[in-house]
Amino acid sequence: MNEGCGVVAVASRNRAAESIYLALMALQHRGQEAAGIAVFDGEIKNYRGLGLIGEAFKGFDIEKIDGQVGIGHVYYSIKISTPENAQPTLLHTSAGDIAIAHNGIITNAEDLKKELMEKGHNFFYGSEEEAIAYLLADSLKEKSVEKAVKYAMKKIEGSYSFTLMLNDRVFGLRDPLGIKPLCLGKIENGYIIASESVAIDVLGGEFIRDVEPGELIEITPDGYKSYKLIEEKHKAHCFFEYVYFARADSFIDGIEVYKAREKLGRVLAKEHPVEADYVVPIPDSGRAHAYGFSKASGIPVAEGLMKNRYIARTFILPTQKIRERLVQLKLNPVKSIVEGKKIVLVDDSIVRGTTMKKIVGLLRHHGAKEVHVRIASPPIIAPCYFGIDMTTRDQLIASGRSIEEIRKKIGADSLGYISIEGLVKALGIDKNDLCLGCVTGEYPVRIKGEKYRFQKSLEKWRKE
């Protein structure tokens, strides 16, 4: 399972590119397929490449890139084939240079592009970010930046945390429901906006606060300005940020991710108790959940699976046979922990079930007496339309299957998922302020053919 990306914006008296580079390193977990940095040096200049941070920028001397303001992006998509398709997206418009880095998905992007093409806009990239840049450019001819951004927000649907540059001005914007995270910090000689607080930490900075849903923030080397453009009664924070995507040492909307995961493990242990010798986390995604499960159950936690941290990404492995052996390449059981033992295997989620089936089989092959699987998210029964790589129901093992049917599929002795109520309790966030679309089938944004949750519509603020 993969997430869309991570974004950064920096305004500093120093060269911004160096700070952005380090911040993107801290956000590498959010995207490994491509990366980019755009800075203003008389005009906006864009530096992009494919691969991990070190690969993407190996042709550029970061220390010599001038410009005191800039934005950055890390991206995941196996569809990318050229550096030009990486972000930030840069357009030279009649309103000036506009660069955009986006975390999320615009669900009405095709309608927007069609409307803009009818107005005479030609698309070079064909991306939703290009459409947003055109929306802004058209509005900036007559409106202030904040009014132009609000106009664009009324036109777009979906999830988004943006960092963007309008010539030499740099901003961060979060969607009105707060689906994707974004935060603000103070760094040496400047300010930063980023997807997660770890990007601030790596620069030795000070976390100030989360960007509020519906808020636009402009940063300068000397401070920041806030524009609260849209306010919704209820939010829709993505619960998977806490369960899986964010780094465990990040804070998102006032919650430390590690503590949230540990609480999820505690609740999971109470909901699905089991007799076993060891609690074994799947590294690294299940580790904090496993510690919580261990504390609540009294079953000792043990590192029964060792991870090869140097394995290549799946899609670049040279042959199908090697790709199929990926689990054995990535994970290897510790014989003294596994052989003859009853194991509780803890992970954050099961999406397709293929990997979990292989891991259960691997433990049995190495002598596990019993394998009990415990999952710190509810069953994923519906697609995500907001930037997570699980887009069709036929990919999801829990779609249309009972827990017992899933257990048989993965070969476990027992299977327990945390309940939706348990998830909400562990996170300590009002259920009405979470996006639970993938586990309930009800979405906070209107999706054609899908159920729309109690919020009814977003027409209220579109008509203002």
Residues annotated as part of the active site: 5
| Matching residue, tokens 């008296």 | 13
End-to-end CA distance of the chain: 38
Within 13 Å, how many C-alpha atoms sit on residue 272's CB side? 22
Report d(CA 156, CA 89) in Å as an integer: 17
- Angle, alpha carbons 386-392-393 (nearest 5°): 120
Please say whether the beta carbons of 258 and 288 come within 8 A.
Answer: yes
The torsion defined by the Cα of 369, 375, 378 and 383, in degrees rounded to 10, comes to -100
Closest listed residue to residue 286, CA positions, set 308, 255, 262: 262
Q: Is the torsion defined by CA of 358, 359, 360, 366 positive or negative? A: positive
SS3 102: strand
Q: Is the torsion defined by CA of 431, 436, 441, 444 positive or negative? A: positive
Q: Is the torsion defined by CA of 363, 246, 456, 149 positive or negative? A: negative
HEC string of 57-100?
CCCCCHHHCCCCEEEEEEECCCCCCCHHHCCCEEEEECCEEEEE
φ, ψ for residue 376 (rounded to 5)?
-90, 20
Assigned token pair, 8? 């950064």
| Matching residue, tokens 């927007």 | 112
Q: Which runs of E-coded beta strand occur in 115-167? A: 161-166
Q: Which runs of E-coded beta strand occur in 175-263? A: 183-187, 190-194, 206-210, 215-220, 223-228, 237-238, 251-252, 255-256
| Furthest-apart CA atoms within the chain: distance in Å | 73
Report d(CA 419, CA 423) in Å as an integer: 6
Q: Is the torsion defined by CA of 238, 240, 246, 250 positive or negative? A: positive
Could you tell me which residues are beta bridge partners of residue 309? none
Report d(CA 265, CA 425) in Å as an integer: 12
